[in-house]
Amino acid sequence: MTSPRLPRRGLLAAGPVVLGLGALAACTDGGSSSSSDAGGAQGGTLTIFSTSEDMSFDPATSQSLAITSLGLTARRLTAWKTSADAPTELIPDLATDTGTPSDDGRTWTFTLQDGLTFEDGTAITAATVKYGLERSFAKELTGGLTYHKVLLEGGEDYEGPFSGKHLDSIEAKDETTLVFHLNRPYGAFGWIASTPAFAPVPEDSGEPESYATKPVASGPYRVASYKAGSQVVLERNEKWDSSTDQARTGGPDSIEFALAQDSSVVAQSLIADRSDAQDAFLASFVPAAQLVQAQNDPKVGDRLVTSGPGALEYLAMNTQSEALKDVKVRTAIQYAVDKEAYRTAKGGEISGDYATTLITPGIEGREEYSLYGDAPAGDAEKAKSLLAEAGVKDLSLRLVITEDDTAAAEAIQQGLARAGITVTIQPLDENAYTSEVPAGDGSGYDLVLGSWQPDVPSPDANLTPLFDSSQIGGGNYNLARYSNPEVDKALLDASSTVDADEAAAKWAAVDKQILQDSPLVPLIYSKNSFLHGSGVKDFVIGEFPAYPNYLTVTLG
């Protein structure tokens, strides 16, 4: 389990952020051009430094974003087109379009492009996409995203294809036509079809557990060698046809993942632009000390790419705590929090923009608003007034954090102290945190710091995991333990709306509806910084997600 302060992702998924590389969230405000016209060329070997000791190329178990590691070897029905200065666009990948809804959004049809093949030359068919998706239900394979599992008819009872059973709600009508039957209307299924499980897998792909290191590639690269704790080498898949792929440029001839790396050591090599780091980038964020160094080194220049506003960092208030059941008390905390001090503790302006909404930047349906004033330092007097109205004196709260989050917690503590609220900070190790907060009964904490980066640029992936009452406990991420039947109904209604403009208006309304109840305080939309060598071109972080697009990086 990753730190609770790192961005979480995944509707109904109890797993952490996984890129397959150990890299965690960022979003951009800069970087190179988003096309190969920027000067990148075909050829060469790109090195990606990772702090992880291993990787998985199995789409059934992956939470990899559509633009990161798994996307190099595995195509999906749909894909993402990212840009540093425009919203991320849903585009076709294996399919000819982004899906056609019918039956008011309960049925979705996709048609595959003709002539697509795996690395061995066998055909990619509707049946191989169906089988790949069915594998994700198997109890032998765990850890993947669950959006499709809760949407497909019969998914709650299906246990995968390894015993010979198939899921009838995934219909391979012919070689190229797939029809998905959902248990309710769902407007953003085109985005769901870009998640890892929608990659094709041949039915004779071997033992399920071995597929993580020996996948059959549908993307521009195939796994040539895999050494856990050391190196993974991808080589060009000669059967990949660039003319069928809008999402990937297939620039480098090969890509090497250097595993189990020390991010500080790698960052130093990249800052110095050493010969073995010139055609490379660091998958994880630049550590704080090296970030300061890189900012102050003129030789680094635009090789340091800092994202625009991305994941939402927030202070969750346990709405089931006796001390926080009154919305006036929770609203007082909205005003008492010093976001300025919090951002300073996180590293200053480069760490993020101040947050006032729940839907994060770069996602359709987001509207800018501010319910609780525009002063980042807060309004302690307003907070005191609200506490007085609520008849509350000597409010004492327990703030649970992980052990590496003391500075940010102290910033929250000092802000609330100005309003006469006493905060006791309780650091916990990872296992204790998990047991007490996402998996616990909520009795042990009043406040907790969290962060959220959705898997797809849909407001549903932004709001439902954090605020739907079904996401309380059980390892899920409604850390505010917020339960409001009207909000549950509004979330369901918005996600069921197929018309994009109508859905966007509903999402904007439910965003504000939730925040009026003050289940959490939006703190910042985090920014993150990445380093690459001088030989790396087209290193782009779009408006969403807050990660570089691995699929379009070139060398030159």
Domain extents in the chain: 36-257+529-555, 312-526
pLDDT of residue 34 exceeding 50:
no
Residue 69 pLDDT level (bands cut at 50, 70, 90): very high
Radius of gyration of the chain (CA): 23
Domain 36-257+529-555 has CATH 3.40.190.10: yes
Q: Do domains 36-257+529-555 and 312-526 have the same CATH topology?
A: no
- Across the range 102-125, mean pLDDT stands at 98
Ramachandran angles phi, psi of 519, nearest 5° = -75, -20
Question: What's the pLDDT score for residue 113?
Answer: 98
291 versus 362: which is more confidently predicted? 291
**pLDDT tens per residue across span 369-423:** 999 998 999 999 999 999 999 999 999 999 999 887 899 999 999 999 999 999 9
CA–CA distance from 293 to each of 298, 346, 364, 381 (Å)?
A: 10, 16, 36, 40
Q: Which CATH superfamily is domain 312-526 in?
A: Dipeptide-binding Protein; Domain 3 (3.10.105.10)
- Across the range 463-490, mean pLDDT stands at 96
Instruction: Give the Cα separation of 338 and 246 in Å (integer).
Output: 45
Instruction: Give the Cα separation of 80 and 194 in Å (integer).
Output: 8
Classified as helix, coil or strand, 452 is strand
Instruction: Give the Cα separation of 400 and 421 in Å (integer).
Output: 16
For 439-494, give the secondary structure using H, E and C: CCCCCCCCEEEEEECCCCCCHHHHHHHHHCHHHCCCCCCCCCCCCCHHHHHHHHHH
Question: What's the pLDDT score for residue 40?
Answer: 60
- Across the range 337-350, mean pLDDT stands at 95
The amino acid at 539: F
pLDDT of residue 8 exceeding 70:
no
Residue 35 pLDDT level (bands cut at 50, 70, 90): very low
Half-sphere exposure of 68 (CA within 13 A, CB side): 34
Instruction: Give the Cα separation of 459 and 65 in Å (integer).
Output: 16
- Across the range 159-172, mean pLDDT stands at 96
Question: What's the pLDDT score for residue 526?
Answer: 95
Question: What's the pLDDT score for residue 23?
Answer: 30
Question: What's the pLDDT score for residue 7?
Answer: 47
What is the average pLDDT score of the chain?
91
Instruction: Give the Cα separation of 12 and 385 in Å (integer).
Output: 38
- Across the range 11-35, mean pLDDT stands at 31
Instruction: Give the Cα separation of 448 and 545 in Å (integer).
Output: 24
pLDDT of residue 17 exceeding 80:
no
Angle at 363 (CA atoms; ends 361, 368), nearest 5 degrees = 50
Question: What's the pLDDT score for residue 85?
Answer: 84
Question: What's the pLDDT score for residue 369?
Answer: 95
pLDDT of residue 31 exceeding 60:
no
pLDDT of residue 38 exceeding 80:
no
| Helix, strand, coil fractions of the chain, as percent rounded to 5 | 30, 20, 50
Ramachandran angles phi, psi of 77, nearest 5° = -65, -40
Question: What's the pLDDT score for residue 138?
Answer: 96
